[in-house]
Structures are given as structure tokens and as C-alpha cells.
Amino acid sequence: MTSKQQVVARDLLENTGKPVSKAMLDAGYAPTSAKNPQQLTKSKSWQKLMQEYLPDEKLIEKHKKLLEVRVFDRFVFPGYLEAENASESFSRIPNCDVISVGWSGETTIVYFSVPDYRTQLEALKLAYKLKGKLNSNVLVSGEKVIAILNSSNGNSSGQNA
């Protein structure tokens, strides 16, 4: 692996969302090389570097945690509502957990948590992109995220060559 590859890897890890091509230019790659970042990300030395910076075991652990990431919010009902009735209303929302119900003046406040799907998707996309295993076929439909990953041996059919 080259020192330029290490600079690109560090830059991408520190500046999430930065395009690989921009990181390559900043590291001193020629503009013609930066126009085709797949040459870098699909190289054996890049894959080895990614295994060092982002070992599969670490990604798997993070993915497990990301699958549980939640966002906390509140909803204000006008008027007084019994805690049981407020909780029952939220029980119909898939994957929604009521944390507490409170009252303030003439309003009922329900504090709840729901999965943070956007954060989960972005973190997963970034990790796979850095490892060079994500192609552009990512679909989001409701709660389901479907990503078509490139195989590590370059054979996208999933069959061994």
C-alpha cells in the first residue's frame, strides 16, 4: 500500500461524505486517476488497507448497534389525556416505544422513541462505500433498505470463479 492510499483512507474516515475522487486529488493523485476512483478502491492494496482501518469484525459490531439506533421525540396533545390512552395511541405505530407521558397546563406530552432509519442507512452506506463493496443500486422503501454489494473477488454474480 502506498502513502497516498493511507492519506486518502484517513481523509475519508475523518471527513465522512467526502467523495473518494476529491480525497484522491487532495492526496496528490493525478486528475485522470481521480476521475476513476474505482481503480483505487478495487485494488488489492486498498482492500488490505480497508481491512486494517475498518476490519469486518468491527463493522459487523457497529452494524449490530446501528440496527438499534433510535431517535427520541415528543408529541403534544391539546387537553388532558390519561397516560394509558396516550400510550395506547402510540402502540399502533410500528417500532414506537413510549418513554413517558407528562402534563403541562392543558396539554399532554408524550415522549417516545422510534428507529432512526436515515442514520442507519447512511452509516451502512459509508462503511460499504469505503470498503469498495457498494455499487449504486441502493433502494429505500419504508423500513426496508436493499443494497446490492459487490463481491470482494470482483464477481458480482455471487458465484465463485
Domain ranges within the chain, ordered by starting residue? 1-53, 74-115
Distance CA 103, CA 107 (A): 6
When pLDDT is averaged across residues 64-83 and rounded to a whole number, the result is: 88
Q: Cβ(116)–Cβ(73) under 8 Å? A: no
105 phi-psi bin (left φ>0, alpha ψ -120 to 50, beta other):
left
- Cell numbers for 60: 459487523
When pLDDT is averaged across residues 59-64 and rounded to a whole number, the result is: 80
- Cell numbers for 1: 500500500
Q: Reduced to 3 states, what is the DSSP secondary structure of residue 116?
A: coil
Q: What was the pLDDT predicted at 134?
A: 72
Q: Cβ(68)–Cβ(120) under 8 Å? A: no
When pLDDT is averaged across residues 141-149 and rounded to a whole number, the result is: 58
Q: What was the pLDDT predicted at 16?
A: 82
Q: What was the pLDDT predicted at 161?
A: 35
Q: What was the pLDDT predicted at 107?
A: 93
Q: Residue 69 pLDDT more than 60?
A: yes
When pLDDT is averaged across residues 8-20 and rounded to a whole number, the result is: 90
Q: Residue 139 pLDDT more than 80?
A: no
Q: Pick the range with the lowest mean pLDDT from 40-44, 59-63, 86-90.
A: 59-63
Query: Long-range contacts of range 28-33, CB-CB < 8 Å, 24 or more positions apart?
Result: 28/4, 29/4
Q: What was the pLDDT predicted at 135?
A: 65
When pLDDT is averaged across residues 63-79 and rounded to a whole number, the result is: 88
Higher pLDDT, 144 or 111: 111
Q: Residue 147 pLDDT more than 90?
A: no
Q: Is 36 exposed, middle or buried (0-12, 13-18, 19+ CB in 10 A)?
A: exposed
